[in-house]
Amino acid sequence: MSNGINYELDFEKRISEMKDRSLLEFVARQTLEIAGKCNTYDKQILSLEGGSRKQSGIMGGISGTITGVIVGLISYFSNKGN
């Protein structure tokens, strides 16, 4: 357990000592490495880009309606006591 804490503290220290450019490059390398290992990043992007606009519009409308109803009910019941 203490090894994990020491590793995290050392990692935090190393990151805080990095300059902005070094930190950005480090984050970019880590992101690229994770994306390469998972190999799902490209599939996710393609599924987002390949989706139909009609389906996205319908889902957006449904979620907006549900959100509106929930907010309306909360507003109604919170102001009912006044």
| One domain for residues 19 and 44 | yes
Tens of pLDDT along 29-48?
Answer: 888 777 766 656 566 666 66
Split at pLDDT 50, 70, 90, the class of 71 is: very high
Q: Which domain does 16 fall in, by range?
A: 1-50
pLDDT of 31 reads: 81
- Side-chain-side CA neighbours of residue 13 (13 Å): 6
Tokens standing for residue 42: 């490209």
Domain count, the chain: 2
Residues 6+ apart with CB under 8 A from 18: 26
Cα angle 22, 26, 31 (rounded to 5 degrees) comes to 150
| One domain for residues 44 and 10 | yes
